[in-house]
Every structure is written in structure tokens, then in C-alpha cells.
Amino acid sequence: MAILTGEEGDPVALENAVAQGRVILVCEHASRLLPASLGTLGLSVEALASHIAWDPGALAVSRLMAEQLDATLLFQRFSRLVYDCNRPPESPAAMPEKSEVFDVPGNVGLDQAARDARTQALYIPFRDTLRDLVEARIAAGSQPVIVTMHSFTPVYFGKPRDVEIGILHDADTRLADAMLAAAGTDGRYTIRRNEPYGPDDGVTHTLREHGLSKGLPNVMIEVRNDLIQDEAGQEVVAGYLTGLLGAALSAIQ
């Protein structure tokens, strides 16, 4: 059975495709949309609106940053509950049976054919579009920078989180170090390295696949979603992160 119908369109969206800036913004968890063929995955309306389905605010912030940085933005148009594009196909977290406190009935006991169908429908086009974009930029003589944009829930398993912005990295710390140095002690936000997640949580798949594999500077940014739930908040955070990235990129030239 096909996961996506023709009317549902391409799973990958590319905006500002011919941007002149070096940064490529990637938003794997931009959307909570489910393909009609999968119904509700057995989830309540509440669960489908929550952070388990998507990263609220992340796409809006990414769009503002794309404009300010003259960056290309690539995002997944369907929910991470169907396929989490920041995970490789062999990872159980690519199609989670449980996410935080919610069981995901429609993901329980998927056989290999069902897993392959979702991988082909959502992950492969996403991976290949990003890979082709990066390779085209390199072939044209530029050195792209991979920045993945995420948001996280302020309360996780009942525990409030005080970190507001996380700067995450894998083995290549160049860009993260420079951003943390640029943030310094301005006191604007509570910013931490590899929080609330880090490489041991498996969240650096996109960085590894598209940044580390080619020696490109890369970073993952996590914003607590209560800071970006409306347009005013999104603009403030996008402006701040654009400033940090700009300063960091100048510093690592």
C-alpha cells in the first residue's frame, strides 16, 4: 500500500533553493501532518497536536532565519511519528512505538514491509534531496554549513526543563564551540551544550550523515518551545540565533 497519494505531494519541501548564503537549514520535525493512508495512528487529538508529533515553532523560526541568512531551508512535510527523518531506517526511534508518555498504536509491531514503505515514502527522498543539494553546492565551489533546527517540550516526563536553547554537536565541535563562545555571558538565554539531548541520544543522525561525512561545519539547535509559540517569540529567537550563527561563522573562517 502506498503511504502517500499523489495529491499529498512531495514529502520534502525546499524553500529559498537558490540562496546565496552558506547555511543550509534543515527541519526534520517541521510538521504534524499525517498521510491519509495512516489515519490517526491510534492517537488522540491531544497527542497529535503535541511535541511528540512535531517540533512546534521550529519551522516558523527556520523560515525567519532562512530569510535573514539568505539560506536554503529544507524540511519534512509529514510528522516524525510516521518516520523521524533524524534517525536512520534501522533505528527503532525512526518509527517509535512509544514517545514520551504516549503509546503510538499505529507504530506497534510494524513488519519489515511496512517499515520499508515508510522509509521509501519519507526518509529516502529527504536524505537524497539534502545530499544532492549539499553536493551541488560543493561542486559549485562553496563549503556549505549544515544547521538543523528543533524545538523541545518545557516539561518532559513531568519534569520542567530550565535550559532554553541547546547547542548540540557530534564529533565536529567547531561551529557549536563558536556559537557558545559568541553567546558568552550575554545572559539573554540559558544556553547549554548538548542539552536537553546529545549525541548519545541518537539525535545527531542528520549532522553525521550530511555534515561530518563531508567535513562540513555543522550544528543542531534546540529551542524550548514555549519561547517560540507565537510570532513575536519566533522573531526574537530567530534574530538572536541568526546573530549567533553569523558571529560563529565569521570566527571559524
**Interface residues toward Zn ion, by CB under 5 A:** 29, 55, 150
- Before 196, cis peptide (omega within 30)? yes
* Residue of 47, 32, 21, 19 whose CA lies nearest to 151: 32
Going by their DSSP bridges, the two strands 218-224 and 165-168 should be labelled as antiparallel
Least separation in angstroms between CB 229 and Zn ion: 15
The β-bridge partners of 76 are: 12
Residue with smallest beta-carbon separation from Zn ion: 150
Contacts of 153 (CB under 8 A, 6+ apart): 50, 51, 100, 161, 224, 225
- Considering beta carbons, is residue 137 or 203 the nearer one to Zn ion? 203
Least separation in angstroms between CB 29 and Zn ion: 4
CA atoms within 13 A on the CB side of 140: 12
Are 106 and 39 within 8 A, CB to CB?
Answer: yes
- Considering beta carbons, is residue 150 or 224 the nearer one to Zn ion? 150
Least separation in angstroms between CB 150 and Zn ion: 3
Least separation in angstroms between CB 238 and Zn ion: 16
- Considering beta carbons, is residue 32 or 150 the nearer one to Zn ion? 150
- Considering beta carbons, is residue 100 or 247 the nearer one to Zn ion? 100
Cell of 104: 503510538
Least separation in angstroms between CB 83 and Zn ion: 13
Identify the helix (H) or strand (E) that includes residue 160: strand 159-160
Residue 127: how many CB atoms within 10 A of its CB? 19
Residue 193, judged by CB atoms within 10 A of its CB (0-12, 13-18, 19+), counts as: middle
- Considering beta carbons, is residue 75 or 189 the nearer one to Zn ion? 75
Least separation in angstroms between CB 26 and Zn ion: 10
- Considering beta carbons, is residue 19 or 220 the nearer one to Zn ion? 220
